[in-house]
Each structure stands twice: as structure tokens, then as C-alpha cells.
């Protein structure tokens, strides 16, 4: 597989550093706006093509587009045009988006007849990776869309979490904690996508093995009755209740900060149990698959 343009995001696709804003000309008879096309630049600069000839990417990880955000972008496009061209590839007599679906949707709302594009020749595999990486780098996916994008990169291209982190500009902890969410049941994934509970709630719920209890706690969290920290404490107490003795909660803010920093560094949840009468202290590192266990081993040995 050709890799010369992969793993570098949108910058690998758009090579022209200066792209002038497009001038929008209102057509009062049609009630539509038409972009006045600049002359195509030599070497793959922006072209103007009919918006009706463009199809969305089948590789797009984003499934939800906020109505308010789209309308705001459409208004901006009506006023100032499209500053950054879409990136497309030619499929037969039509064009398929690689990057810029939100701009394309907003342009439709703004009733543009033509839009500026940069045309690139890439394979299906390249289009998949570039679309996923471009969306992840923009940080406008919801937590589940991001997790599925990371997972698809690993599955489709047989990448490790470290390699995905490198290609997307994220740290490994972000990738590992994100993909963990996909172990939740589908209804809980939908709640996270809809913003009823946070990704932090989801990670805390993963430690609850009883699915019925996990669902009940998620429902309480969705109603604002459980914070992430409360869920974490509940899951830790249940873990301690399985023969590990009572838990001493972390009350020292410096100690808690150290635990938080350790979690960020090694990319997994860390539980600290301070010694209590008759019970030794414990530092517990969670892992969810063999790859994550090997990663923890390497970090600890280094």
C-alpha cells in the first residue's frame, strides 16, 4: 500500500499554501448563491465544480452533524465564501469527498451552485485513512465516533495503538481509553453519542461487571444523579468487596494528582488503595487486552 500521503492528515492533501477566499455572487432570480471560480492553479490548486456532482465519503466516521453548527457555517459561507477547498477524488463522472463534508453540507444549505475543490488521485485504502485521520485531527467527532475511527484504523490497516497515536497526533493513552468505550453495550454507546452521559462516565461504567447494575447506574448518571468520580468510587468499592477488604479513598490532593498523572502516562486506569488496619496498600493497573498488557509491561520495564 502506498504510504506517501498517509498518516499526515489534511496537510498531505492540500499543497497550495495560499488559497484566496471565494467571492459569492447572489442570484436573485434563482434564490441561490454561485461562487465565482478563480482560474485553476498549476499543480493541483482549487477548481470549481458543480456541488451536485459531489457524493459524501463512505468512509466518513462522523454520523451526527449539529444543526446549529451547520447553520452557522452556512451563514459564514454566504457572507465570505469557502476559504478552504474541499478535497475530492474522481469516481467515474462524479466526485467523492475525502475531506470537507461539513463544508459541503453547509454549502448546500447556503445554496451554492459550485464549490472549490482540490482533486487528488488516491486508492480506496488511502481515502479511508485520510478521511479518518482528517476527522480525528480536527477533534470534532463525538467520543464514540472517535473510538470507532481509531478502531477502524487498527482493524483495516493492522496498526497498533502506538501507531494509531503517531498517525493521528494523539497520545497513546487517548487512543487506549477511547477504544475501551466500544466494550460498552450499544444503548450506552448511543447515550454517549447523544451527550446523555460523558465518555468519563462510560470508562467508569466499564469497571462494573454486572450489566444490569451498569445499565441502572448509567440511567442515574444520565439524569445527573451520579458524577464520574462517584461512579469510579462505586466500582472500586465493588472490586474491593470481592475479597480485597475495605477501601481507603484518596484524600490527599497531591496523591490524587500523582495517580492522575500516572494514568495519563501509562494509558490505563490506575487504582490506589492506601494501607488500612489489617490490609496492605495496593496499586492496581487495569488492562483490557493482551496488547495493552504488553504495552504496560514495556513501560514498566523501561
pLDDT, residue 3, reads 43
- State how far the Cα of 62 lies from the Cα of 43, in Å rounded to an integer: 31
Cell of 267: 494509558
pLDDT, residue 251, reads 64
CA angle 250–211–235, rounded 5-degree value? 5
Tell me the residue length of the chain: 302
- Asked whether residue 123 falls in the same domain as residue 228, the answer is no
- Asked whether residue 39 falls in the same domain as residue 78, the answer is yes
- Asked whether residue 197 falls in the same domain as residue 288, the answer is no
pLDDT, residue 200, reads 92
- Asked whether residue 121 falls in the same domain as residue 51, the answer is yes
b/e code 259-279 from CB counts within 10 Å (16+ = b) = beeebeebbbbbbbbeeeeee
Q: Is residue 146 part of a domain?
A: no
- Asked whether residue 19 falls in the same domain as residue 123, the answer is yes
- Asked whether residue 236 falls in the same domain as residue 290, the answer is no
- Asked whether residue 108 falls in the same domain as residue 221, the answer is no
Q: In this structure, what is the dihedral angle of CA atoms 181, 187, 193, 195, given to the nearest 10 degrees?
A: -110
- Asked whether residue 301 falls in the same domain as residue 225, the answer is no
pLDDT, residue 199, reads 94
What mean pLDDT do residues 76-98 have?
Answer: 92
User: Is residue 188 pLDDT above 90, yes or no?
Assistant: yes
Q: Is residue 166 part of a domain?
A: no
- Asked whether residue 13 falls in the same domain as residue 113, the answer is yes
pLDDT, residue 288, reads 67
Q: Is residue 121 part of a domain?
A: yes
Domain boundary among 243, 267, 284: 243
Judged by phi (left if over 0) then psi (alpha if -120 to 50, else beta), residue 14 lies in beta
Distance set, CA 43 to CA 47, 118, 120 (Å):
11, 10, 11
- State how far the Cα of 167 lies from the Cα of 42, in Å rounded to an integer: 29
Interval 232-249: pLDDT, tens: 888 776 665 554 444 445
What mean pLDDT do residues 78-87 have?
Answer: 90
- State how far the Cα of 106 lies from the Cα of 108, in Å rounded to an integer: 5
User: Is residue 17 pLDDT above 70, yes or no?
Assistant: no
| Boundaries of domain holding 260 | 247-302
pLDDT, residue 249, reads 53
* Start-to-end C-alpha separation, the chain: 33
What mean pLDDT do residues 199-216 have?
Answer: 90
User: Is residue 19 pLDDT above 50, yes or no?
Assistant: no
- State how far the Cα of 128 lies from the Cα of 139, in Å rounded to an integer: 17
Place 267 in a pLDDT band, splitting at 50, 70 and 90. Answer: confident
b/e code 36-70 from CB counts within 10 Å (16+ = b) = eeeeeeeeebbbbbebeebeebebbbbeeeeeeeb
User: Is residue 262 pLDDT above 70, yes or no?
Assistant: yes
- State how far the Cα of 130 lies from the Cα of 96, in Å rounded to an integer: 13
Number of Cβ within 10 Å of residue 246's Cβ equals 12
Q: Is residue 294 part of a domain?
A: yes
- Asked whether residue 225 falls in the same domain as residue 258, the answer is no
CA angle 152–155–160, rounded 5-degree value? 100
User: Is residue 136 pLDDT above 70, yes or no?
Assistant: yes
Place 172 in a pLDDT band, splitting at 50, 70 and 90. Answer: confident
Domain boundary among 131, 166, 193: 131
User: Is residue 263 pLDDT above 60, yes or no?
Assistant: yes
Residues annotated as catalytic (active site), given as ranges: 101
| 3-state SS class at 255 | helix
Mean pLDDT of the chain: 78
> Which of the two residues, 138 and 152, has the higher pLDDT score?
152
Report the DSSP pairing between strands 23-27 and 32-36. antiparallel
- State how far the Cα of 176 lies from the Cα of 112, in Å rounded to an integer: 41
Place 34 in a pLDDT band, splitting at 50, 70 and 90. Answer: very low
CATH number at residue 125: 3.90.1530.10
Identify the CA nearest to 231 among candidates 208, 252, 261: 208
pTM above 0.75, yes or no: no
User: Is residue 24 pLDDT above 50, yes or no?
Assistant: no
pLDDT, residue 41, reads 38
- Asked whether residue 19 falls in the same domain as residue 86, the answer is yes
| 3-state SS class at 219 | helix
User: Is residue 104 pLDDT above 80, yes or no?
Assistant: yes
**Number of structural domains found in the chain:** 3
Place 196 in a pLDDT band, splitting at 50, 70 and 90. Answer: very high
User: Is residue 266 pLDDT above 50, yes or no?
Assistant: yes
What percent of the chain has pLDDT above 90?
29
Q: Is residue 204 part of a domain?
A: yes
- State how far the Cα of 46 lies from the Cα of 86, in Å rounded to an integer: 9
- State how far the Cα of 246 lies from the Cα of 236, in Å rounded to an integer: 10
Q: Is residue 170 part of a domain?
A: no
- Asked whether residue 121 falls in the same domain as residue 65, the answer is yes
pLDDT, residue 27, reads 33
Domain boundary among 223, 243, 263: 243
Q: Is residue 79 part of a domain?
A: yes
Q: Is residue 162 part of a domain?
A: no
> Which of the two residues, 76 and 262, has the higher pLDDT score?
76
Amino acid at each position: 500500500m502506498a504510504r506517501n500521503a498517509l498518516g499526515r492528515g489534511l496537510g498531505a492533501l492540500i499543497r497550495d499554501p495560499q488559497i484566496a477566499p471565494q467571492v459569492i455572487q447572489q442570484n436573485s432570480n434563482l434564490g441561490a448563491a454561485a461562487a465565482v471560480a478563480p482560474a485553476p492553479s498549476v499543480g493541483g490548486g482549487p477548481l470549481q465544480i458543480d456541488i451536485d456532482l459531489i457524493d459524501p465519503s463512505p468512509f466518513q466516521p462522523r454520523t451526527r452533524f449539529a444543526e446549529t453548527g451547520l447553520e452557522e457555517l452556512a451563514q459564514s459561507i454566504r457572507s465570505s465564501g469557502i476559504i478552504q477547498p474541499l478535497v475530492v477524488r474522481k469516481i467515474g463522472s462524479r466526485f467523492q469527498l475525502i475531506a470537507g463534508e461539513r463544508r459541503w453540507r453547509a454549502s448546500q444549505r447556503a445554496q451554492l451552485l459550485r464549490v472549490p475543490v482540490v482533486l487528488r488521485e488516491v486508492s480506496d485504502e488511502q481515502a479511508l485513512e485520510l478521511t479518518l485521520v482528517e476527522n480525528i485531527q480536527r477533534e470534532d467527532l463525538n467520543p464514540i465516533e472517535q473510538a470507532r475511527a481509531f478502531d477502524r484504523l487498527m482493524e483495516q490497516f493492522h496498526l497498533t495503538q502506538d501507531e494509531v497515536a503517531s498517525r493521528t497526533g494523539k497520545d497513546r493513552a487517548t487512543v487506549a481509553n477511547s477504544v475501551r468505550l466500544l466494550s460498552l453495550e450499544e444503548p450506552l454507546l448511543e447515550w454517549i453519542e447523544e451527550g446523555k452521559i460523558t465518555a468519563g462516565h462510560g470508562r467508569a461504567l466499564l469497571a462494573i461487571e454486572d450489566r444490569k447494575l451498569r445499565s441502572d447506574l448509567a440511567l442515574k448518571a444520565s439524569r445527573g444523579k451520579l458524577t464520574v468520580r462517584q461512579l469510579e468510587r462505586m466500582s472500586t468499592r465493588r472490586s474491593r468487596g470481592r475479597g480485597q477488604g475495605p477501601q481507603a479513598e484518596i484524600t490527599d490532593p497531591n496523591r490524587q494528582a500523582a495517580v492522575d498523572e500516572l494514568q495519563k502516562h501509562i494509558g490505563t486506569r490506575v487504582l490506589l488503595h492506601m494501607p488500612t488496619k489489617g490490609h496492605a496498600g495496593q496499586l492496581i493497573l487495569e488492562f483490557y487486552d493482551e496488547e495493552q498488557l504488553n504495552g504496560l509491561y514495556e513501560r514498566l520495564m523501561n
